C-alpha cells in the first residue's frame, strides 16, 4: 500500500505524530511490534499518567544541544495538551511540583490518542515487526508498504520487558544520523560494599537535596537494599557519569541546629540530637559514622560544625545504576545535530523524521518526557 507517512512505534510520540498528520489529510500507517499501543503510557505515573507539567521550560530537559527542544515545546505547549485532555472530558489534577495526572486512569490518555488517530483515519498495525527498510527514489519501503515520510518513534531501550528496543539507533545509523551514546536515566543507583551505611538503612525515606556539579533536586530520597532511589535520586541520575560522587544535603542548617541542641539538651548524645532532625534509623547510622561519643554539652562548637558536614554534604559514589531494566527513560539517542528543531526531519535525509525518546532529549521526572513526546510528535506530524 502507498502511504504519505509510515510511523514506527505506537507510543505517545508516534500516535501524536500520526493523529496530527492524519487530521491534516495525510494517509498514515503506524507499525509496532507490541500487541497493544501506548504500553508505557498505561504503566506511567503509577497507572494515572503524569501527562505533562505546568512548569515546562527548556531547562527541564537534558540534551547535547540545550536549545534544540525550544521550538517544538513552544509550538505545542503543556496547555495545548491540557486543552486536548479537557476536550476528551478527562478529569485531571496537579499532584505536586506542577505534575498533572489523570484522576482516573492512564488508559484514558491512550484512548484519547487512539481517538485522535481514528479522527485522522490513521491505520495502526500492531504485533508487526519492522523488518528491512528500503529507501529509493525518495520513498521508504517496509514490506509491501511505502511512503515518502518515515518517522522513527520507537523510543529507547528502557524497560525491555515492555518491548522497548534500541532499534531507533540502528535505523538512525543506517541512514547516517549521529547517535549520542544512550544511557539509563531516571534510574536508581547501586552502591558497593564500601557504602554499607546506606544499605543498612534500607526502607528509610527522607527529604534531601541530591546534587552533582551545579545541579540539585530537593525531593524525597529512599534508601534501598541495592542503593538509593526516590525522586531526588532519579532526577540526579540523569546527570550522573560513572565514577562521579553525589552529595546529599539532609539539612542545610544542621550546624546551627546541633549547636541549639547542645544548649537545649547538653546531657544528650549526638544520636538523640540527630533523631530530632532525621528518621531514627538514619540518625543512628549517621551518629555511628560520625563517631562523636561525647555528650553534646561536652562538644566544642567546632566539633558539632564538623559533625554537621555529614548532614549538609553526605557524599557517596554509586557503583552503577539499576540499568535499563529499571530506568524510566533513556538519555542520549539520535543526535539533534542531525535533525531540524522545527520539524524533526533529518537534515541529510529528506522525509526521515525522529521524535520522542528516541532523540537525544531527556526530560526531568514529572511529566516532562510525555510533553516532549507530544510536542516533537506534533512538530513532525505538521511537517509530514
Q: Which residues form the interface with ligand FDA (CB under 6 A)?
A: 9-14, 32-34, 39-40, 43-45, 49-50, 129-130, 153-155, 158-159, 163-165, 167, 328-329, 356-358, 367-370, 373
> How deeply is 136 buried, as exposed, middle or buried, from its count of CB atoms within 10 A (0-12, 13-18, 19+)?
exposed
Shortest distance, position 44 Cβ to ligand FDA, whole Å:
3
Signed CA dihedral, 331, 334, 340, 344: sign only: negative
Shortest distance, position 320 Cβ to ligand FDA, whole Å:
19
Cα Rg, the chain, nearest whole Å:
24
Nearest residue to ligand FDA, using CB?
11
Shortest distance, position 162 Cβ to ligand FDA, whole Å:
7
> Nearer to ligand FDA by C-beta: 206 or 356?
356
Burial 292-323 (b: 16+ CB within 10 A, else e): beeebeebeeebbbebbebbbbbebebeebbe
3-state secondary structure of 279: coil
> Nearer to ligand FDA by C-beta: 307 or 329?
329
Shortest distance, position 134 Cβ to ligand FDA, whole Å:
16
3-state secondary structure of 222: strand
> Nearer to ligand FDA by C-beta: 222 or 373?
373
How far apart are alpha carbons 215 and 211 in whole angstroms?
5
CA distances from 269 to 95, 276, 302 (A): 39, 12, 16
> Nearer to ligand FDA by C-beta: 179 or 204?
179
> Nearer to ligand FDA by C-beta: 43 or 83?
43
Shortest distance, position 52 Cβ to ligand FDA, whole Å:
7
Longest dimension (CA), the chain: 85
> Nearer to ligand FDA by C-beta: 190 or 330?
330
Shortest distance, position 291 Cβ to ligand FDA, whole Å:
40
Amino acid at each position: 500500500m502507498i502511504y504519505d507517512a509510515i510511523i514506527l512505534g505506537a507510543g505517545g510520540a508516534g500516535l501524536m505524530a500520526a493523529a496530527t498528520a492524519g487530521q491534516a489529510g495525510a494517509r498514515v500507517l503506524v507499525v509496532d511490534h507490541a500487541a497493544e499501543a501506548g504500553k508505557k503510557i498505561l504503566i506511567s505515573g503509577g497507572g494515572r499518567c503524569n501527562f505533562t507539567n505546568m512548569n515546562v521550560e527548556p531547562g527541564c530537559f537534558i540534551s547535547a544541544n540545550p536549545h534544540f527542544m525550544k521550538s517544538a515545546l513552544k509550538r505545542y505547549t503543556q496547555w495545548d495538551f491540557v486543552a486536548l485532555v479537557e476536550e476528551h472530558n478527562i478529569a485531571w489534577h496537579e499532584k505536586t511540583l506542577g505534575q498533572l495526572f489523570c484522576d482516573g486512569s492512564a488508559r484514558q490518555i491512550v484512548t484519547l490518542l487512539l481517538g485522535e488517530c481514528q479522527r485522522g483515519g490513521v491505520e495502526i498495525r500492531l504485533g508487526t515487526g519492522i523488518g528491512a527498510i528500503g529507501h529509493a527514489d525518495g520513498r521508504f519501503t517496509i514490506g509491501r508498504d511505502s511512503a515518502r515520510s518515515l518517522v522513527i518513534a520507537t523510543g529507547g531501550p528502557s524497560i525491555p520487558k515492555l518491548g522497548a528496543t534500541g532499534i531507533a539507533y540502528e535505523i538512525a545509523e543506517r541512514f547516517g544520523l549521529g547517535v549520542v551514546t544512550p544511557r539509563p536515566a531516571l534510574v536508581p543507583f547501586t552502591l558497593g560494599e564500601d557504602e554499607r551505611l546506606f544499605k543498612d538503612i534500607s526502607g528509610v525515606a527522607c527529604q534531601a537535596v541530591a546534587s552533582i556539579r551545579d545541579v540539585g533536586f530537593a525531593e524525597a530520597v529512599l534508601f534501598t537494599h541495592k542503593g538509593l532511589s526516590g525522586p531526588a535520586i532519579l532526577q540526579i541520575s540523569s546527570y550522573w557519569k560513572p565514577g562521579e560522587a553525589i552529595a546529599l544535603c539532609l539539612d542545610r542548617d544542621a550546624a546551627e541546629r546541633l549547636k541549639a541542641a547542645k544548649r537545649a539538651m547538653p546531657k544528650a548524645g549526638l544520636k538523640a540530637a540527630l533523631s530530632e532532625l532525621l528518621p531514627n534509623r538514619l540518625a543512628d547510622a549517621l551518629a555511628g559514622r560520625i563517631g562523636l561519643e561525647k555528650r553534646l554539652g561536652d562538644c566544642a562548637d567546632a566539633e558539632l560544625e564538623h559533625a554537621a558536614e555529614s548532614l549538609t554534604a553526605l557524599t557517596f559514589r554509586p557503583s552503577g545504576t539499576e540499568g535499563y531494566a529499571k530506568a524510566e527513560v533513556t538519555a542520549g539517542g539520535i543526535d539533534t545535530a542531525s535533525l531540524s528543531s522545527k520539524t524533526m526531519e533529518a537534515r541529510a535525509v529528506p522525509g526521515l523524521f525522529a521524535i520522542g525518546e528516541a532523540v537525544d532529549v531527556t526530560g526531568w521526572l514529572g511529566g516532562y518526557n510525555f510533553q516532549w513526546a507530544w510536542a516533537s510528535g506534533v512538530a513532525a506530524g505538521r511537517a509530514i
